[in-house]
Amino acid sequence: MKKRIQKKVKKRKKKKKRITSDKVQKPVREREARLYALWKSIPTILHTMVHKDGGEAKLRDMGIDIKDEELMELIRIRFKSDFSKRFKICLKQLERWDNSEIIQEWVDEFNQKNNVLKHKKDIDYNFTMKTKKEADAARVKLWKELYEGWSEKQKVEHSGTISLAELFEKAEQKKKENG
């Protein structure tokens, strides 16, 4: 009888052992983990705004594509428990993801992209207005490159001809000189 109990205790101890490593591993359910990181990066005000009267209209006015069902589904999820139920992920797993370095990197990446997009319109508008007002050559050139896809053409003139063999010889000479 004692041997049976001792074996059961040993089995329990074996089950409790965990393998730990210093390496950052990608989550097994990567799609859901990325969605969780994206959900965490969505500003809280959007989660609350969508549930109020006229919330979707306000989101549309803010430039959010309310026809994108996946995005709207993420915005409608207000709490971690709601996310857990929707994607069938236990709350403990979400807590592990909260502490995961790779998930935090993804959240930071989403936040950075979000900030760039948020300020891009303002920067573009201000740049265009300043370009119209100042109309200096450098600003106009940059504006044309950014918004019209224009690229400056350069004319290169050659004097004389050189054979391929001469070109290689000069390259070898430069190599010897340099080093």
User: What local confidence, expressed as pLDDT, does residue 92 receive?
Assistant: 92
User: What local confidence, expressed as pLDDT, does residue 70 receive?
Assistant: 85
Residue spans of the domains in the chain: they are 27-118
Residues in Cβ contact with 38 at an 8 Å cutoff, skipping those fewer than 6 apart: 74, 106, 110
Give pLDDT tens digits along the chain (179 positions). 566 666 555 555 554 444 444 444 566 688 888 888 888 888 877 878 887 877 788 877 777 778 888 888 888 888 999 999 999 999 999 999 989 898 888 888 887 877 665 666 677 777 778 888 888 888 888 878 877 777 887 777 777 777 888 888 888 898 888 86
Measured in whole angstroms, how far is the alpha carbon of residue 85 from the centre of its chain? Answer: 25
Alpha carbon distance 116, 109 (integer Å): 11
Alpha carbon distance 6, 19 (integer Å): 23
Alpha carbon distance 126, 62 (integer Å): 18
pTM for the model stands at 0.49
Question: Among all chains, which residue has been given the structure tokens 């139920």?
Answer: 85
